[in-house]
Amino acid sequence: MQLKNSAERYGVIAQLLHWSIVVLIVTQFVLANQAEEATSLLRKAQTLTLHKNIGMTVFMLAVIRLVWRWINLTPAHLPTVKAWQQRLADLTHWALYALILLTPLAGWLMSSAKSYSVSYFGLFTFPDLVAPDEGRYQSFKTLHQVLAFSIFNLALLHIAAALKHHFWDKDNVLRRMLPLKLRGDR
């Protein structure tokens, strides 16, 4: 079990960060939907509190993931992958990183503008980033929704590309991000 990345595949730490963020982002979409459908204010507040906690977790994990990427080797593109696909993959990855950082930041700004504190599982409270202002709140709310929608769509493209590589091209692009027991390299 390799902790660090190699030229051929991602290490356990990169995999753990990747798949943790994936699970948490899926959870975020479920929680956002549950908050919208909540029939009581209490249930909505509880769901949004959990949504904010997980959002800040995603933000912190994304920062750690970026630092890990900068201090670690990134596996090279496979030689069978066309140059335009390599550029598109790189662009998609950096866009996902940006969205994974900016979406929780927009949520934090939205909460600050509404004067709703962002507590982290009751351990501490993040400082407000802006003064309360209803207009700013609405702008940050819209931005947060657009960014989340963008993550969703870009993630679908990312998933489709990974599945194309796995099932159509039959290469190791997907397998090198999978845990050792699941990958079954060809």
Residue 132's domain comprises: 12-179
pLDDT, tens digit (0-9, with 9 covering 90-100), for 79-92: 888 999 999 999 99
Number of structural domains (the chain) is 1
**CB of 57 within 8 A of CB of 28?**
no
* pLDDT computed for residue 185 by the predictor: 53
Is residue 1 one of the residues assigned to a domain?
no
Query: Global pTM?
Result: 0.89
Closest CA to 109 of 80, 125, 93, 131: 131
Q: Is the pLDDT of residue 160 over 90?
A: yes
Q: How far is CA 14 from CA 19, 26, 56, 61, 119, in A?
A: 9, 18, 19, 11, 27
The CATH number covering residue 131 comes to 1.20.950
Is residue 184 one of the residues assigned to a domain?
no
pLDDT band of residue 159 (cuts 50, 70, 90) is very high
Q: Is the pLDDT of residue 50 over 80?
A: yes
* pLDDT computed for residue 184 by the predictor: 54
15 alpha carbon, distance to own chain's centre: 13
Collapsing DSSP to helix, strand or coil, 104 comes out as helix
* pLDDT computed for residue 179 by the predictor: 84
Q: What are phi and psi of 73, to 5 degrees?
A: -70, 140
Is residue 106 one of the residues assigned to a domain?
yes
pLDDT, tens digit (0-9, with 9 covering 90-100), for 82-119: 999 999 999 999 999 999 999 999 999 999 999 999 99
Is residue 157 one of the residues assigned to a domain?
yes
Is residue 186 one of the residues assigned to a domain?
no
